[in-house]
Amino acid sequence: MRIRSACFTLTLAALVAGCSGRQAPSPHEAHAATNNAPLRTKNMDPVKGQAATCSGPREKTFNIDVIEQNVDLGMGTSFAAWTYNGRIPAPTLEACEGDQVTINLNNKGTTAHGLDTHALMIDARHYSAIMPGKSMTMVKTADTPGVFMYHCASGPVTDLHIKSGIHGAMIVYPRKEQLRPAREIVVVEDAIYGDRDEEGFIPGTNPVKAQKNDESFSMFNGRMDNDAVRVNPGDLVRMYFINVGPGVASAHVIGTVLDRVYDGKTPLYGVQTYGVPAGGGAILEFYIPEEGVYPFVDHDKLAYLSYGLALPFATGDVSGMGH
Ligand SMILES: [Cu+2]
């Protein structure tokens, strides 16, 4: 499969050329002058954030439909997917530590589907698959802050369902510890296991490729054509990152160092690349040190750069970016 993107060629050119922008103030000086508006990619809504989520009602209800439909992946490619709410990745679920979470799942598909969220400690039988036309509800308190994967649970064929598009991020914000002001974004790394036909259509997951973890390509947030994310020098970016797989994601931002990484209770400081296993997540915080381009990549999957597996964070003074 060959996919060419003129836009991405420009992105690479910008990366190679580097930036000759003016000297920026130090990150901490500049930070006070920048806004903290959330960031987004075309496939993912901005987060509501800790303040809005934790100041709201302590009961959170999420209604999710399983929908089997074609999804546009960008670069002239579409995929006969299985989804939550018609989207890859699924909508981000946001709750606050201590919230009572209710998830209502409606199976509008043609085969059995379920839901497993890593954020809730609950009898795993509550995740079990339900038949088409059926609904199920799970209720549980979200006890552990962090960013968690959630995905389809369908017994022995769960792997096929996750790889067919049914996966997303669930954020549980800490209730007492106030997070630093930052520009927040959700990034889910996932992959497609199937080949395009002449029209660019992938008619579903190839089970043999899926079983071997032999992806056709990997993506961030379900797109191969993500626009550059606009930031300012000095911005602190907080990325809620989930790795669906295959394999460990080597999460790295070219041109900066991860200021803090949250994976469990104790933060790590000054990390160049952080490994996030399939089925795992981590909160990655990094500063935009000066004018320029800072692509988020999986350093173990740089071979997929030409399929769009790079999410550039770029300041406004950089030309030749975006689509
Ligand atoms: Cu499913």
The rounded Å distance from CA 131 to ligand 1 centre is 10
The rounded Å distance from CA 80 to ligand 1 centre is 13
The rounded Å distance from CA 21 to ligand 1 centre is 48
Specify the DSSP class assigned to residue 81: E
The whole-number pLDDT of residue 317 equals 67
Q: From the first residue on, what is the mean pLDDT of each consecutive set of 10 residues in the chain (323 residues)?
A: 42 38 43 73 93 96 98 97 98 98 98 98 92 97 98 95 98 96 98 97 98 97 95 97 98 98 94 98 98 97 92 81 43
> What is the length of the chain?
323
The whole-number pLDDT of residue 128 equals 80
**Structure-block tokens of residue 301:** 């999957």
**Would you say 316 and 233 are in contact if contact means Cβ atoms under 8 Å apart?**
no
Q: How far apart are CA 85 and CA 103, in angstroms?
A: 13
The rounded Å distance from CA 43 to ligand 1 centre is 20
Question: In this predicted model, what pLDDT tens digit does every residue of 215-271 receive, in sequence order?
Answer: 999 999 999 999 999 999 999 999 999 999 999 999 999 999 999 999 988 899 999
The rounded Å distance from CA 72 to ligand 1 centre is 19
CATH superfamily, domain 50-173, is: Cupredoxins -  blue copper proteins (2.60.40.420)
The rounded Å distance from CA 263 to ligand 1 centre is 27
pTM score, two decimals? Answer: 0.89
Q: Do 6-43+182-315 and 50-173 agree at the fold level? A: yes
Among 298, 285, 317, 300, smallest CA distance to 39 is for 285
- Furthest CA-CA distance within the chain: 60
- 6-43+182-315: which CATH topology? Immunoglobulin-like (2.60.40)
Domain boundaries, the chain: 6-43+182-315, 50-173
